[in-house]
Amino acid sequence: MTVSSSHPASEDEDHVREFLTGDAREVAPLLLGAVLTHHSPDGPVSVRITELEAYMGPGDSLHPDPGSHTFRGPTRRNAPMFGPAGHLYVYFTYGMHSCANIVCGPSGHASAVLLRAGEIVDGLPLALARRPTSKSAKDLASGPARLATALGLTTADSGRDALTHPFSLELPPAPVAGVSAGPRVGVAGDGGSHDYPWRFWLTGDPTVSRYKAAKVRSA
DNA sequence: CTCCGGATCCTCT
DNA sequence: GAGGATCCGGAGG
C-alpha cells in the first residue's frame, strides 16, 4: 500500500472524531476510562480519565448553560469551543491555573467536556516533576488544573487537535461500569440549587477530585 | 478530617 | 475594574 502525502486520518482517528461529534452530555460518561497522551519534548505522559463535566453551548433553549464559557457567545478565548470536535480548549484561571477541555459536537455547536481528574498511567516521573507539591500519585491529576499541569498543557495548546501528534486519545474498549453523575463543581448554574447533573466520575475511584459545592453568589 | 483565605493575572465588560 | 469551571497550606476539631 502507498502512503499519501497528506497525512490521511487513520480509521481509529476518524472513529474517535465521529464519536466526539456527538452530544457532550452523552459523550462525557463514555469518555471515562479513555486515555489522553501528550508527547512533549520532555517525554510522554498519559492520563486515564476518571472524572469530567459537560458544558453546553449558547442557544440551547432546553438547557441554557450559564456555566459555560460560551454562554455569552464567541470570544477570542473560547473560539476553539466553536470549532471541530476533538480539539483542545485550554483556559487560564485564578491567575495561575490552566484547565483543559475536549471539544464536542459539530462545528458551530460550542460544547465540550472539562477534564476534571485522571490517573497517570504513563510518564509518572515526568508528571511528578511537573507537580512537585503533590503528596501521592493519586493527587497528580485529581483536579482540572492538576490534570492540565501533569500533562504539561497550557493555553498555548488551546485549539490544538487532541487526536493527532503530539497528542493522542484512546477510547476505552468498552463503556466502563460504575459511573456516577452529579452537579458540576464550582458552577452556580441558575442560582445554585438546580444545577444540571453533568459531572460524571468513576464511582469510588481514588483519583476523583474531592467534591466542593458551587459557591452561591448573593446578588 | 473540615474550614478558610491568599496567591496572581487573564479575559471580558 | 471585577471576578474566576482552582490549588495549597495553616488552623482547629
Nearest protein residue by Cα to C1' of nucleotide B3: A212
Model confidence at A10, in pLDDT bands (50, 70, 90)? Answer: confident
Please compute the mean of the pLDDT values over residues A191-217 and round it to a whole number. Answer: 76
Cell 497522551 identifies what position? A37
Please compute the mean of the pLDDT values over residues A3-28 and round it to a whole number. Answer: 86
User: What pLDDT shows up at residue A61?
Assistant: 65
Measured CA to CA, the distance from residue A197 to residue A183 in angstroms comes to 4
Measured CA to CA, the distance from residue A78 to residue A90 in angstroms comes to 9
pLDDT in tens, A67-107: 899 999 999 999 999 999 999 999 999 999 999 999 999 99
User: What pLDDT shows up at residue A193?
Assistant: 47
Taking each helix axis from N to C end, the angle separating A11-20 and A24-31, rounded to the nearest 10 degrees, works out to 130
Please compute the mean of the pLDDT values over residues A149-167 and round it to a whole number. Answer: 97
User: What pLDDT shows up at residue A3?
Assistant: 53
Q: Would the Cβ of A136 be found within 7 angstroms of any atom in strand C?
A: no
Nearest protein residue by Cα to C1' of nucleotide B2: A212
Q: Which of residues 140-159 of A touch strand B (CB under 7 A)?
A: 155
Q: Which nucleotide is nearest to A73 (CA to C1')?
A: B12
- Bridge-based pairing state of the strands A199-202 and A179-182: antiparallel
Q: Would the Cβ of A138 be found within 7 angstroms of any atom in strand B?
A: no
Query: A80: closest CA among A92, A71, A88?
Result: A88
Strand B nucleotides with an atom less than 7 Å from a protein beta carbon: 2, 7-13
From the CA of A186 to the C1' of C1: give the distance in Å: 23
Measured CA to CA, the distance from residue A21 to residue A23 in angstroms comes to 7
Cell 441558575 identifies what position? A190
From the CA of A90 to the C1' of C2: give the distance in Å: 22
pLDDT above 90: percentage of residues in chain A: 75
Is the pLDDT confidence value at A191 over 60? no
Residue A17 burial (CB count, 10 A): 18
User: What pLDDT shows up at residue A104?
Assistant: 97
For all residues of chain A together, what is the average pLDDT? 90
Please enumerate in sequence order all residues whose Cβ is within 8 A of that of A146, keeping only pairs 6 or more positions apart, or say none. Answer: A117, A131, A134, A139, A140, A209
User: What pLDDT shows up at residue A2?
Assistant: 52
